[in-house]
Amino acid sequence: MNNHEAAPSTTGPSRPASLTPLVPHPPATSARKTRRFGSWYVAEQYLRAMKGYLDIVIAYSVGNPLIYLFAMGVGLASLVDANSGTASFDGASYLQFVAPALLASAAMMTASGEFTYGVMSGFKWWKTYYGPLATPLTPQQICQGHALAVAIRILGQSIVYLVIVLLFGAATSGWAVLSILTASLAGLAFGLPLMAYSASVRDDKGQFALVERFIVMPLFLFSGTLFPLSTLPWFLQWIGWISPVWHATEIGRVLSYGYAEPLWLSVVHVLYLLALTGGGLLLARRVYARRLEG
């Protein structure tokens, strides 16, 4: 693990190994530093591991927005705009309408991969959680560290996404930059409760494939992403109301093209996302503690 820094005074590349043995700082120092920065040490380990597949991470981060924005915002838009005009979207073009939704959905998709198979890998397949457990790190820090690393990945991916959105001319307001944060928040609001669930799974009997099909897919397709939520029959609209993607999409539309919405509703969107994120994290910490210490 990387939670020891080299002894400060004597290290240098030319120092003969036999002179003075390397001495780590005292255990009390390790314990103190780990209490303060433990989650970051765990996150560092994850981000270093991500370097091994950086090429595909980058390809997805750049390719995904290009492909989706083109297919939906240009291709599909040619049908939508021709048939219903901009009236359906408060004067915005279809491209402007879908861009915030695609941004938030991408954050959710990344979170859904990392917080299912990634968590299972930590507990079972590669047992990456059990190495740090033998150090002064606590289960809660191992949980937070993993979440932190994924949050950093989602944030990076959202920044790239927004740059491409701007290149497509799909946002008219400078406030759009803030939707990087709301989209990433949607990823965590969805991902952290999922992380708590994944940590409670002992055997992978295909539960994650079911999560993908019965939760992730519907949330993408029925969250007012590709069409306004109000187009759906009333008995399906509740999917949008509970969906982090819908909340982040709505606020993203406010930010990027001035979609009209009462202020209190925007506040509700943010509070809802924060509540899911915070609640999910608390729950995940508890499940991790029970499983890693039990």
Residues interacting with another protein, by CB under 8 A? Answer: 52-53, 55-56, 59-60, 63-64, 67-68, 71-72, 74-76, 78-80, 83-84, 88, 203, 205-206, 209-210, 213-214, 217-218, 221-222, 226-227, 231-233
Least gap, CB of 218 to another protein (angstroms) = 6
The CA distance from 125 to 117, in Å, is: 9
Least gap, CB of 43 to another protein (angstroms) = 21
C-alpha angle with apex 216: 212 to 219, nearest 5 degrees? 155
Site of tokens 């109000």? 230
The CA distance from 18 to 40, in Å, is: 33
User: Please, where are the H alpha helices in the chain?
Assistant: 27-50, 54-68, 77-84, 94-114, 117-120, 130-133, 139-167, 179-199, 207-211, 217-221, 234-242, 244-257, 263-293
Least gap, CB of 176 to another protein (angstroms) = 23
- Which residues, 6 or more positions from 202, have their beta carbon under 8 angstroms from its beta carbon? none
Least gap, CB of 97 to another protein (angstroms) = 10
Task: Output 214 or 238, the one with its CB closest to another protein.
Answer: 214
Least gap, CB of 227 to another protein (angstroms) = 4
Task: Output 31 or 74, the one with its CB closest to another protein.
Answer: 74
The CA distance from 177 to 165, in Å, is: 10
Task: Output 36 or 205, the one with its CB closest to another protein.
Answer: 205
Least gap, CB of 40 to another protein (angstroms) = 26
Site of tokens 């606020």? 251
Least gap, CB of 83 to another protein (angstroms) = 5
- As a three-state string, the secondary structure of 200-230 is CCCCCCCHHHHHHHHHHHHHHHCCCCCCCHH
Phi, psi of 128 (to 5 degrees): -65, -20
The CA distance from 207 to 115, in Å, is: 13
Task: Output 14 or 83, the one with its CB closest to another protein.
Answer: 83
